[in-house]
Every structure is written in C-alpha cells, then in structure tokens.
Amino acid sequence: MRIGILGSGLMGGKLGTIFARAGHEVVFSYARSEEKLKRLAREAKGKARHGTPREAAQEADALLLAVHWSRMDDVLSQAGDLSGKVVLTCSLPMNDDDTGLVVAHTSSAAEELARMIPKARVVAAFNTVPSEVLFAVYEAKRKASRPSLVYCGDDRRAKEVAAGLIRDVGFDPVDAGPLRIARYTEPFTLLIARLAYEGDRGPELAYRFEWRGK
C-alpha cells in the first residue's frame, strides 16, 4: 500500500518507519527541515522517500495525519484535494502548550477534521498510545498477546484499511464504532499520557482490553 505521512515528527516519523519496514511504500512529508525527511526515508530502509505534503497525498492509498492541532489548517492546505482519500488521524486537539483539549465533550479533533475535509474518509487511529511504545510493539508483534488499539470512523472500507495497518504495527485493532466515539478516545489518551509521562515506569506504555465473558 502507498502511505503518505503528513507530519513526520514523533508519531509520523515512527509510524512511517514501521509501515515501511512492514513492506509499504511510504512518503514522509511536513517537517521543518527537508534533511530530516530525507534521513527518515533513508533510515526507514524499506520503500520510503520524502516529498511535499501534496506529493505524499497524491498517489496515497492511505494518509497518516500526525501534526499538532495548531498546524492542521496549514498541512491540509499544503496537501491539496483529499477527496476520497483514507485519512488516518492520530492528532489530538491539544492547546498550544499541550496542557488540555481545545475540543471535547460535544465534538473531537477527528470529527472537526472530517468537517474540514468532508470528502475524505477519516478514521481516528494510533491516537491513544505514546510514540515511545511503537517500536517496542512492532518488535513484539509475533508474540501471542498483543496490546489493543482502539480506532473509530464512519467509512467501512477506510476502517478496514486502518485495521490492517494497526495489525501491521503489532496491535490488536478494537473497532470502537463511529467517528463521534473519538470524543471518548481522545480524552482517554490524556489518561494514557498521565501514566506514561508522569508515572515512574516510563513512557513505553500500551493497553489491552479483554472480554472475560463469552
């Protein structure tokens, strides 16, 4: 699959690298330095290259949107027309100093994004785990018990794409339902962040849901 990365920071850089190592064609885009994008593409070792957001979007079967909430308008304007595109977003609606959500309760970053690009197929995924755990999950993907990863969206085919990529990274995808459920998954990540960054066990934290009934 061809995957365009819009935002090649902690999340986009690592997920793009993992997608490339899992065999996908990846285009890294949207960082402040082209050198960084080149290095990511080189070090990913698979079929990875760098490009502009527009180039990343053009041929992509799926896009990963991984920018700070304040950069959303800018990256979308640089990406161009996303009609029909599968857009996975891990972006959270954080305020400028990352201390709180600027959208919550009655909407979510994922729903606001879907309003900004109404012809795209938006799925909220990878937004509930810290970037620090991603490589560890990928390296352990052959183990029997995988951590969960919730995702949600309104487009069935886009959700299938998301579930496949979630599996490729090494998580067990948990379909949380329609996109509006991002109203619950986004604040859930603040709990995960609290445990990852304020606890004494480090940020390599994932979670697992288990159904103990039938």
Ligand X SMILES: NC(=O)c1ccc[n+]([C@@H]2O[C@H](COP(=O)([O-])OP(=O)(O)OC[C@H]3O[C@@H](n4cnc5c(N)ncnc54)[C@H](OP(=O)(O)O)[C@@H]3O)[C@@H](O)[C@H]2O)c1
Residue selected from 7, 16, 147, 170 as contacting ligand X according to rule CB under 6 A: 7
Spatial separation of the C-alpha atoms in residues 67 and 137, rounded to whole Å: 22
Question: Measured from the CB atom, is 116 or 157 closer to ligand X?
Answer: 116
Decide: is 67 part of the binding site for ligand X (CB under 6 A): yes
Question: Measured from the CB atom, is 10 or 157 closer to ligand X?
Answer: 10
Minimum distance, C-beta of residue 30 to ligand X, in the bound complex (Å)? 5
Spatial separation of the C-alpha atoms in residues 195 and 191, rounded to whole Å: 6
Spatial separation of the C-alpha atoms in residues 169 and 63, rounded to whole Å: 15
Residue selected from 82, 88, 91, 114 as contacting ligand X according to rule CB under 6 A: 91
Residue selected from 94, 117, 158, 206 as contacting ligand X according to rule CB under 6 A: 94
Question: Measured from the CB atom, is 82 or 103 closer to ligand X?
Answer: 103
Residue 83 CA from chain centroid, whole number: 19
Amino acid at 48: A
Decide: is 38 part of the binding site for ligand X (CB under 6 A): no
Residue 206 CA from chain centroid, whole number: 15
Closest residue to ligand X, judged by C-beta, is: 9
SS3 5: strand
Minimum distance, C-beta of residue 149 to ligand X, in the bound complex (Å)? 11
Decide: is 182 part of the binding site for ligand X (CB under 6 A): no
Spatial separation of the C-alpha atoms in residues 178 and 184, rounded to whole Å: 11
Smallest Cα–Cα separation from 27: which of 14, 39, 37, 36?
A: 37
Which residue ranges make up the site for ligand X (CB under 6 A)? 7-12, 30-33, 36, 66-69, 71, 90-92, 94, 127, 130-131, 189
